Homo-oligomer: A and B are copies of this chain.
Amino acid sequence: MTRPGGRSARVRDAVHDAVVELLAIGEINAAIPKIAERAGVNPTSVYRRWGSREQLLLDAAVTRLRATSPIPDTGTLRGDLLGWAEGVERAMCDPRGQILLRALVATLAPDKQPIEYLRARGEDLQATLDRAAARGEDVPTVDDILDFVLAPLYLRVLFRRPVEPGTGGKLVERLLTALRADPAPNAGRGG
């Protein structure tokens, strides 16, 4: 029987917190005994539950990143995308967000399936697009949004080009401009 509540949940949260805190203060290479010590947990518990430092980092990153930057419902596609992009931008300005994204990329095995985080986010975006289309708006594809907005933001973060405030908004405006100029900018590459 699995036992998700109570002490188990406390330990999981404490360890996740410790990972994020250590990453935030630059202790990128902190090993499991150090993480466990900060979490007030026995190292053996961490080894037994996660098995390796990589699995732990991946779990912490996915768990925490999933909780950031929801897509609002403002009544217009522009408003929805601007709100979302602002949230992503804010997360990427935070050192913790940066380091979690980096850890995520580092840990993703090349032969694994697409990361749950991006897949779920893609579904959220699709729902937003469906709402806009139902209102009669011209809508891009999810691929367009990822290409025009998310990819440039991630490139800046991962390769240390600092994200300036307003970047997300400008990228969204550019996407909408391109959409007006060419209603199907990403046609032919699937979605």
Interface residues of A (CB under 8 A from B): 26, 28-29, 54, 95, 98-99, 102-103, 105-115, 118, 146-148, 150-152, 154-155, 158-161, 164, 167, 170-171, 174, 177-178, 181-182, 185-186, 188-190
- For residue A188, give the distance in angstroms from its CB to the closest CB of chain B: 7
Given A155-B155, A164-B190, A167-B189, 20 other A-B residues pairs in contact with their CB atoms under 8 A? A26-B109, A29-B54, A95-B110, A102-B108, A102-B110, A106-B106, A108-B158, A108-B159, A110-B160, A114-B159, A114-B160, A114-B161, A146-B155, A147-B155, A147-B171, A151-B154, A151-B155, A170-B188, A178-B178, A181-B181
Quick check: B111 and A159 within 8 Å, CB to CB? no
Contacts of A158 in B (CB 8 A): 105, 108, 154, 158
Residue in A103, A115, A170 with the greatest tally of chain B CB atoms within 10 Å: A170
Quick check: B155 and A111 within 8 Å, CB to CB? no
Cα distance, A26 to B174, chains bound together (Å): 39
Contacts of A102 in B (CB 8 A): 105-106, 108, 110
Quick check: B26 and A160 within 8 Å, CB to CB? no
Contacts of A146 in B (CB 8 A): 152, 155
Quick check: A28 and B189 within 8 Å, CB to CB? no
Cα distance, A124 to B136, chains bound together (Å): 44
Contacts of A106 in B (CB 8 A): 102-103, 105-107
Q: Which 6 residue pairs spanning A and B have beta carbons closest together?
A: A106-B106, A151-B151, A151-B155, A181-B181, A147-B152, A151-B152
- For residue A13, give the distance in angstroms from its CB to the closest CB of chain B: 24
Cα distance, A102 to B107, chains bound together (Å): 9
